[in-house]
Amino acid sequence: MSEANAQAIANQPLDGEPAARVLVAGATGFAGALAARLVWRHPRLQLVAVTSRSEAGQRLDDIYPRHRVPLELIELDLAQADEIDAAIVAYPHGAAAPVVAELRGLGAQVVDLSADFRLRDLPEYERWYGPHGEPELLEGAVYGLTELNRDAVRTAELIANPGCYPTCSLLALAPLAEAGLVEGVVIDAKSGVSGAGRGAGEAMHFSNVGENFKPYKVTGHRHTPEIRQELRGMGARGPVTFVPHLLPLDQGLLASCYVTLSRKVEPDELRALYEERYAGEPFIELADAPPTVLDVRETNVCRIQPVLADGGEQAIVFAAIDNLWKGAAGQAVQNLNLMLGLGETEGLL
């Protein structure tokens, strides 16, 4: 460790002794950089390293001044991993799996932001993503949508952090699915350009997204099997149609979910389903008007409004999140808090 990094780590603002020493691998992507910021400001987590394959030697706060993380980026060296207790891995799918496997072999608890451990069925993963580098880890990975899997997250050693679209869509639909009321759903979702990642290239150039709005990957987005897997596990039936759209925004995600109900539902019953399911949830807000992306910007909150249509034969559920917070880095820290026995909201409010 460089002298400058050692001095910075010694000056990190902490509330007493750290509960864990944390590595953020892939800290120069949008989600990784935010994860580093959240860990750096966390009262109980000590950020001991931030890594980058292409920008090692630079300080993270030179690349992202707004996050104000004064650590020099280093190349990942797992020979030094005995210095860490936990890691957030922000690599693309495929690249993440071998790093996760090595970290787990060294005893570190891991939250993985890639898709490598989200799909439980290996053939399904390979259909969408290609060969899996560490299939033996699939069985032990916990799908980290905290509000739906809290007990499993608490005892997990490896968390598959959900995608941003699935996070928003599943939180919107869970009360209906768990009640056996979903006979089919169309998810019409829109996200800001940061969801495509820092290296998205020409497709996200301002000239292509400014004053523009378009659907993309309409016949096969990779989040589709993830959404279907989790909805089926909650008891949903019927077809699941998912269509993402690109908004000319930096951050933010809004899902409009059109649900064919298995029976007629009254307004009081619909509201009660959501109030009972999400009672006491620190990061779920039920709204009386359609949520907007600005309502949740720079927060770990999912804001939801369920309404009935067609005389109670159909439900429309709107949900909004910040795709980099609740859809990625914020949820990763929420999960890490639970894994380490900390308060779920620490470092996130």
H-state helical runs in 2-117: 3-10, 30-41, 60-63, 96-105
Query: Which residue carries 């005892």 as its tokens?
Result: 155
Q: Which residues pair with 87 in a beta bridge?
A: 23, 110
- Nearest to 336, CA basis, from 164, 70, 77, 146: 146
Strands (E) across the chain are located at 20-25, 45-51, 86-89, 109-112, 142-143, 158-160, 182-191, 214-215, 240-246, 253-261, 284-286, 302-309, 314-321
Strands (E) across 76-167 are located at 86-89, 109-112, 142-143, 158-160
Cα(118)–Cα(152) distance, rounded to whole angstroms? Answer: 14
| Backbone φ and ψ of 344, nearest 5° | -60, -30
Query: Which residue carries 């390979």 as its tokens?
Result: 126
Cα(111)–Cα(25) distance, rounded to whole angstroms? Answer: 11
- Nearest to 101, CA basis, from 82, 117, 118, 80: 117
Radius of gyration of the chain (CA): 20
* Residue-by-residue pLDDT tens, the chain, 349 positions: 788 899 999 999 999 999 999 999 999 999 999 999 999 999 999 999 999 988 999 999 999 999 999 999 999 988 866 789 999 999 999 999 999 999 999 999 999 999 999 999 999 999 999 999 999 999 999 999 999 999 999 999 999 999 999 999 999 999 999 999 999 999 999 999 886 554 444 455 555 667 788 888 888 889 999 999 999 999 999 999 999 999 989 999 999 999 999 999 999 999 999 999 999 999 999 999 999 999 999 999 999 999 999 999 999 999 999 999 999 999 999 999 999 999 999 999 9
- Nearest to 281, CA basis, from 147, 145, 171: 147
- Nearest to 116, CA basis, from 140, 96, 136: 96
| Backbone φ and ψ of 338, nearest 5° | -65, -40
Cα(304)–Cα(181) distance, rounded to whole angstroms? Answer: 18
Cα separation of the two ends of the chain: 31
- Nearest to 232, CA basis, from 298, 186, 182: 182
State which CATH number among 3.40.50.2300, 2.30.30.100, 2.60.40.1180, 3.30.360.10 fits the domain covering 165-323.
3.30.360.10
pTM of the shown model: 0.95
Query: Quick check: 13 and 83 in contact, CB under 8 A?
Result: no
At the topology level of CATH, where does 3-140 sit? Answer: Rossmann fold (3.40.50)
Distance of CA 140 to the CA centre of its chain: 19
Q: Which residue among 164, 168, 257, 302 is the active-site one?
A: 164
Burial class from Cβ neighbours inside 10 Å (0-12, 13-18, 19+) for residue 287 reads: middle
Which pLDDT does position 196 carry in this prediction?
A: 56
Cα(88)–Cα(76) distance, rounded to whole angstroms? Answer: 13
Which pLDDT does position 200 carry in this prediction?
A: 45
Domain ranges across the chain: 3-140, 165-323
Task: Decide whether 3-140 matches 165-323 in CATH topology.
Answer: no
Cα(123)–Cα(219) distance, rounded to whole angstroms? Answer: 19
Query: Quick check: 270 and 315 in contact, CB under 8 A?
Result: yes
Task: Supply 69's token pair.
Answer: 């993380």
Cα(218)–Cα(299) distance, rounded to whole angstroms? Answer: 29
Vertex 328: Cα angle to 340 and 141 (nearest 5) = 55
- Nearest to 323, CA basis, from 41, 158, 113: 113
Question: Is 302 assigned a catalytic role?
Answer: no
